[in-house]
C-alpha cells in the first residue's frame, strides 16, 4: 500500500520531467511509448488511491469534462496593454523618451516576440500552479485553471530552485500553426466554421467547457512577465531566465539590447525571421530591463511607459485577378471568390480569396483583370483589401455579381436586409444537395465514418443518396459499385450509418441543415422542444422564446418544417430509427418531487452519467444544486477523485456523502 503511494509520487515527478523535456525543450529522453506506459501505470495507481488525489498530477493533463462555466477572479495587478508603434522610427523615439525619462542613466532594453494568442496570468504557490486567469477586461478575468493544466508546456510543479513562495507569471497561450491548420482541416471536414487565425482559435479553445477537448487541440504557452514581491533578480531578463530554469517556456528570441542600433537590427532581423517561427506573432515587444528603472518610468492609465510594442506590417501582395467565381453553399448562399495568379504570401501560395458578398465586392469596385492587393495580416484566410486602380487595363469592365445560380441556373434571390444572394432551388441544385449530405454525416452531426466530401458527391452522382434519409436505405452492394469502395469499406460505411441511429436528438437537429441553426442553437432548440413533433408544432412566438432564437431564426425554423420535402425527410428519418426526441436526461421537465427541499453538491468524476446529467436529474426530481458545501447542504454526490478539500469539509460538517449508485437508488420511483 505505502509502496504504491511512493510509486505514485515518483511516477508523478518522473512524468513531470519527461513532459518538460518533450514539450518545453523539444528533447525527449524516452520514447512516446515508454511515456505512455508510465502514464498508464500512474493512472491505474491513482484510480486505486483516490485519497492521494493531486489536481496537478501529470494525469490531469488529459483533461476531464467536469467544468461547468467559469468563475471570475480579480487580477492582483491589472493586466494592461502595450502602446503600439508601427515603424522603426517610432521605436527609436520611444527609446529616446526612455533615456530622457531616466536622465541619461545607462539603459538596457530587452527585445522579445509579441505572441499573437490569448494573454494569461498564472499564479504559483510553493512551486505549484494554483490558478490560471484570462486577461478578461484587464481588471478581472475567467478562471480557466482546468483548461490550462492540459497545456503540456506549462509546469504544474516547478523544478530547479529559487522561486518565490508566491508569484505570478504572465504569458501568452498560443495555438501553433501546425495545430491550427489541423484543427481547421477537421472543422472544415465536419462542416463547421473555420477559425480566422490562431489567436481566435487559442482564445476560443481556452474558453471551452470541456478540458478534454482543450487537451486534444494542442495549445502551447510562452511566458514573458514575472511579477511578485520577492523576485530573484532586479531585472526582467534575469528573472525570465530564472523562470526558464524552473520549467517555463521562455522564447529563445528574448535578447538584451544595448543601443538604438541594436534595437533597429533586432527589428530588421525579426521582420522576416518571424515567418519561420512555429507560432503566430504580430510584432515585437521592447522592455526596459531594470526593474528599478521600470518603477521610475511608471505607467500611463493604459500601459507601461517602460515597454512598447512594435507591430509588424500586414503582409500584402499584389497579384492579378484571373476571374471571379461563385461558390454555392449548402444553404444556397452564393459567395464570390477571387481566383488569382498564384502569389507567395507569409509562406503560403495564395490562389483564391473570398470576396464575401455583393456589397463588399461593389465597395472594392473590382474590374476584370485588375491588380488586387491580398492581405493576411493576423487573418489566415487571405482577403482582398484593395485594387491598384492605376494598373487597370483600358476598357476593363466591372465584375458583376451573377444573377443566376452558377450551378443550376436558377435566378438568385436576396432577402430584404441581408447581404447574401441565395439560390432558392434547394431540391435541385447539386452543391446544395451534396453539401447537406456532407453536413449531415459530419463528425459533430451524425458522425458517419467513411463519408467525406468526395463520397457524398459520388453517392449523389450514382443516384444512391439525394437526401440524408436515403442514407439509411443504403446496402453494402450498392456502395461497392462506387469507385474506391471494397467490401470492407462499404460495410464500414453501412455500420457507421446504423450506429448514427443512436446520435442524440440535439445533434440530429443540427444535422438537418436548418438555415442559421448552428451547433449551439440546435442544442438549445432541441432541449427546449424535447421532440421533433413538438418542434414542428411550435409557433414562431414560441420559438422566439427559446434562448438564442431571434425572429429571423424563428422564421427560418418555421419555414423549414413547413416545407413538404422536409416533412417527408423527417418522417423517413424517424422511420429509419433516428432519434427524434431528447434522451430523458437532457429534458428539463419535472419528473418527481422525491428530492424536494434537498440541496446537493456534486464533486468528482462519474461513470454512469455525466456531471451535467446528474445536475439535471437533481432538478427534475425537485432538488437543488449548490456550488459549495455549507451547513445547509443535504448531500454531497461524490464521484471518483473528489477534491480533498471538499471531502474534509463535508466530513467536518457531517454531511452525508453518497455515491452515484446511492443517488440513482434514491430517485428510483
Q: Which residues are catalytic?
A: 114
Residue 225 found at the interface with ligand IVH (CB under 6 A): yes
Which span sits near ligand IVH by CB under 6 A: 75-83, 91-99, 468-476, 492-500? 75-83
Binding string, residues 157-186; x marks residues near ligand IVH by CB under 6 A: ---------------x--------------
CA distance 556 to 619: 32
Residue 78 found at the interface with ligand IVH (CB under 6 A): no
Residue whose grid cell is 529522453: 29
In 3D, which of 565, 560, 500 has the Cα closest to residue 535?
560
Nearer to ligand IVH, 307 or 456 (CB): 307
Nearer to ligand IVH, 238 or 634 (CB): 238
Residue with nearest beta carbon to ligand IVH: 119
Of positions 35, 70, 94, 115, contacts ligand IVH by CB under 6 A: 115
Residue 406 is placed in which grid cell?
A: 452558377
Which span sits near ligand IVH by CB under 6 A: 15-23, 76-84, 501-509, 655-663? 76-84
CA distance 486 to 474: 15
Which span sits near ligand IVH by CB under 6 A: 111-119, 161-169, 266-274, 332-340? 111-119
Residue 224 found at the interface with ligand IVH (CB under 6 A): yes
310 contacts: CB under 8 Å, gap ≥ 6: 84, 85, 86, 88, 90, 91, 114, 267, 283, 284, 285, 286
- As measured in angstroms, the least distance from the Cβ of 265 to ligand IVH is 18
- As measured in angstroms, the least distance from the Cβ of 387 to ligand IVH is 32
What b-and-e string marks burial along 77-93, b requiring 16 or more CB atoms within 10 Å of the CB? eebbebeebeeeeebbe
Backbone angles phi, psi at 169, to 5 degrees: -130, 135
Nearer to ligand IVH, 113 or 387 (CB): 113
In 3D, which of 237, 258, 254 has the Cα closest to residue 106?
258
- As measured in angstroms, the least distance from the Cβ of 77 to ligand IVH is 9
Nearer to ligand IVH, 170 or 646 (CB): 170
Of positions 81, 259, 539, 567, contacts ligand IVH by CB under 6 A: 81
Nearer to ligand IVH, 113 or 497 (CB): 113
Q: For ligand IVH, how many residues bind (rule: CB under 6 A)?
A: 16
Q: Quick one: three-class SS letters along 604-620? A: CECCCCCHHHHHHHHHH
Residue 286 found at the interface with ligand IVH (CB under 6 A): no
Residue 635 is placed in which grid cell?
A: 448531500
In 3D, which of 570, 551, 617, 552 has the Cα closest to residue 589?
617
- As measured in angstroms, the least distance from the Cβ of 290 to ligand IVH is 15
Which span sits near ligand IVH by CB under 6 A: 112-120, 227-235, 265-273, 401-409? 112-120
Residue 112 in contact with residue 254, Cβ under 8 Å? yes
Binding string, residues 493-522; x marks residues near ligand IVH by CB under 6 A: ------------------------------
- As measured in angstroms, the least distance from the Cβ of 285 to ligand IVH is 4
> What is the helix (H) or strand (E) element at residue 324, kind and residue range?
strand 316-328
- For the chain, the first-to-last Cα distance in angstroms comes to 41
- As measured in angstroms, the least distance from the Cβ of 112 to ligand IVH is 4
Residue 286 in contact with residue 230, Cβ under 8 Å? no
Backbone angles phi, psi at 482, to 5 degrees: -85, 140
Which span sits near ligand IVH by CB under 6 A: 1-9, 107-115, 531-539, 546-554? 107-115
CA distance 479 to 459: 8
Nearer to ligand IVH, 309 or 441 (CB): 309
Of positions 95, 285, 340, 637, contacts ligand IVH by CB under 6 A: 285
Of positions 18, 60, 114, 523, contacts ligand IVH by CB under 6 A: 114
Residue 609 is placed in which grid cell?
A: 452519467
Binding string, residues 563-602; x marks residues near ligand IVH by CB under 6 A: ----------------------------------------
Residue 119 found at the interface with ligand IVH (CB under 6 A): yes
In 3D, which of 379, 283, 294 has the Cα closest to residue 83?
283
CA distance 392 to 554: 46
Backbone angles phi, psi at 316, to 5 degrees: -135, 145
In 3D, which of 229, 238, 235 has the Cα closest to residue 107?
235
Footprint (CB under 6 A) of ligand IVH, residues 30-59: none
- As measured in angstroms, the least distance from the Cβ of 627 to ligand IVH is 30
- As measured in angstroms, the least distance from the Cβ of 329 to ligand IVH is 35
CA distance 380 to 82: 24
Of positions 46, 112, 375, 438, contacts ligand IVH by CB under 6 A: 112
Of positions 8, 15, 66, 82, contacts ligand IVH by CB under 6 A: 82
Give the other-Cβ count within 10 Å of 294's Cβ: 18
Backbone angles phi, psi at 400, to 5 degrees: -100, 145
Which span sits near ligand IVH by CB under 6 A: 108-116, 264-272, 407-415, 487-495? 108-116
CA distance 145 to 147: 5
- DSSP for 327-366 reads EE-TT-BEEEEEEEEEEEETTEEEEEEE--SHHHHHHHT-
Nearer to ligand IVH, 248 or 510 (CB): 248
- As measured in angstroms, the least distance from the Cβ of 308 to ligand IVH is 10
Nearer to ligand IVH, 80 or 657 (CB): 80
Nearer to ligand IVH, 251 or 521 (CB): 251
Alpha helices in 162-197 (DSSP H): 177-189
Footprint (CB under 6 A) of ligand IVH, residues 302-321: 304, 307, 309
Alpha helices in 58-133 (DSSP H): 88-101
Residue 358 found at the interface with ligand IVH (CB under 6 A): no
Nearer to ligand IVH, 55 or 304 (CB): 304
DSSP-derived pairing of the beta strands 334-345 and 316-328 = antiparallel
Nearer to ligand IVH, 202 or 601 (CB): 202
CA distance 633 to 245: 45
> What is the helix (H) or strand (E) element at residue 265, kind and residue range?
helix 260-273
Of positions 14, 30, 76, 80, contacts ligand IVH by CB under 6 A: 80
| Interacting residues with ligand IVH (CB under 6 A) | 80-82, 112-115, 119, 135, 172, 224-225, 285, 304, 307, 309
Amino acid at each position: 500500500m505505502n509502496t504504491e503511494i511512493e510509486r505514485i509520487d515518483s511516477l508523478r515527478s518522473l512524468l513531470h520531467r519527461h513532459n518538460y523535456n518533450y514539450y518545453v525543450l523539444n528533447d525527449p529522453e524516452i520514447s512516446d511509448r515508454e511515456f505512455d506506459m508510465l502514464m498508464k501505470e500512474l493512472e491505474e495507481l491513482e484510480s486505486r488511491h483516490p485519497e492521494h488525489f493531486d489536481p496537478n498530477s501529470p494525469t490531469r493533463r488529459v483533461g476531464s469534462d467536469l467544468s461547468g462555466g467559469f468563475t471570475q477572479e480579480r487580477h492582483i495587478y491589472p493586466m494592461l496593454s502595450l502602446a503600439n508603434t508601427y515603424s522603426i522610427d517610432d521605436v527609436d523615439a520611444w527609446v529616446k523618451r526612455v533615456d530622457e525619462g531616466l536622465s541619461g542613466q545607462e539603459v538596457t532594453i530587452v527585445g522579445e516576440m509579441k505572441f499573437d494568442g490569448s494573454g494569461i496570468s498564472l499564479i504559483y504557490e510553493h512551486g505549484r500552479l494554483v490558478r490560471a486567469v484570462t486577461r478578461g477586461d484587464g481588471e478581472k478575468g475567467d478562471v480557466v485553471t482546468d483548461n490550462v493544466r492540459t497545456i503540456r508546456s506549462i509546469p504544474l510543479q516547478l523544478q530547479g530552485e529559487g522561486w518565490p513562495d508566491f508569484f505570478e507569471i504572465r504569458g501568452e497561450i498560443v495555438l501553433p500553426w501546425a495545430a491550427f491548420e489541423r484543427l481547421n482541416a477537421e472543422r472544415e471536414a465536419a462542416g463547421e466554421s473555420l477559425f480566422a487565425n490562431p489567436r481566435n482559435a487559442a482564445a476560443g479553445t481556452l474558453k471551452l467547457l470541456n478540458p478534454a477537448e482543450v487537451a486534444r487541440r494542442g495549445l502551447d504557452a510562452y511566458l514573458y512577465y514575472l511579477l511578485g514581491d520577492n523576485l530573484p533578480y532586479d531585472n526582467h531578463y534575469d528573472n525570465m531566465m530564472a523562470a526558464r530554469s524552473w520549467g517555463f517556456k521562455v522564447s529563445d528570441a528574448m535578447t538584451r539590447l544595448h543601443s538604438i542600433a541594436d534595437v533597429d537590427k533586432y527589428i530588421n532581423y525579426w521582420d522576416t525571421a518571424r515567418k519561420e517561427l512555429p507560432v503566430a506573432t504580430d510584432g515585437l515587444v521592447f522592455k526596459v530591463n531594470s526593474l528599478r528603472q521600470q518603477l521610475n518610468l511608471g505607467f500611463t492609465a493604459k500601459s507601461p511607459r517602460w515597454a512598447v510594442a512594435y507591430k509588424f506590417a500586414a503582409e500584402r501582395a499584389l497579384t492579378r485577378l484571373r476571374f471571379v467565381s461563385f461558390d454555392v453553399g449548402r444553404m444556397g448562399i452564393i459567395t464570390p471568390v477571387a481566383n488569382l495568379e498564384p502569389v507567395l504570401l507569409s509562406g503560403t501560395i495564395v490562389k483564391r480569396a473570398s470576396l464575401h458578398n455583393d456589397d463588399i465586392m461593389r465597395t472594392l469596385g473590382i474590374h476584370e483583370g485588375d491588380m488586387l492587393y491580398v492581405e493576411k495580416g493576423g487573418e489566415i484566410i487571405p482577403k482582398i483589401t484593395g485594387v491598384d486602380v492605376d494598373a487597370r487595363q483600358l476598357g476593363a469592365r466591372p465584375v458583376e455579381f451573377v444573377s443566376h445560380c452558377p450551378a443550376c441556373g436558377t435566378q438568385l434571390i436576396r432577402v430584404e436586409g441581408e447581404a447574401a444572394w441565395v439560390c432558392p432551388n434547394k431540391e435541385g441544385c447539386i452543391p446544395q444537395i451534396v453539401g447537406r449530405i456532407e453536413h449531415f454525416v459530419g463528425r459533430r452531426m451524425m458522425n458517419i465514418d467513411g463519408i467525406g466530401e468526395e463520397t457524398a458527391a459520388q453517392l449523389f452522382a450514382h443516384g444512391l443518396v439525394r437526401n440524408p434519409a436515403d442514407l439509411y436505405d443504403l446496402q453494402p452492394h450498392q456502395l461497392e459499385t462506387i469507385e474506391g469502395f471494397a467490401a470492407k469499406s462499404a460495410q464500414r460505411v453501412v455500420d457507421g450509418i446504423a450506429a448514427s441511429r443512436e446520435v442524440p436528438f440535439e445533434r440530429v437537429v443540427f444535422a438537418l441543415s436548418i438555415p442559421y441553426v448552428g451547433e449551439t442553437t440546435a442544442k438549445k432548440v432541441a432541449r427546449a422542444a424535447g421532440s421533433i413533433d413538438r418542434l414542428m408544432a411550435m409557433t414562431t412566438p414560441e420559438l422566439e422564446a427559446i434562448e438564442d432564437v431571434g425572429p429571423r431564426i424563428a422564421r427560418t425554423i418555421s419555414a423549414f418544417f413547413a416545407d413538404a420535402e422536409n416533412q417527408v425527410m423527417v418522417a423517413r428519418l424517424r422511420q429509419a430509427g433516428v432519434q427524434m426526441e431528447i434522451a430523458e436526461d437532457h429534458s428539463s421537465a419535472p419528473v418527481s418531487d422525491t428530492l424536494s427541499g434537498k440541496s446537493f453538491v456534486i464533486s468528482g468524476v462519474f461513470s454512469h452519467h455525466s456531471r451535467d446529467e446528474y445536475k439535471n436529474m437533481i432538478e427534475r426530481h425537485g432538488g437543488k444544486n449548490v456550488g459549495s458545501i455549507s451547513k445547509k447542504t443535504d448531500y454531497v454526490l461524490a464521484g471518483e477523485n473528489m477534491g480533498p478539500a471538499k471531502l474534509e469539509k463535508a466530513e467536518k460538517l457531517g454531511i452525508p456523502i453518497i455515491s452515484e449508485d446511492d443517488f440513482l437508488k434514491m430517485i428510483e420511483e
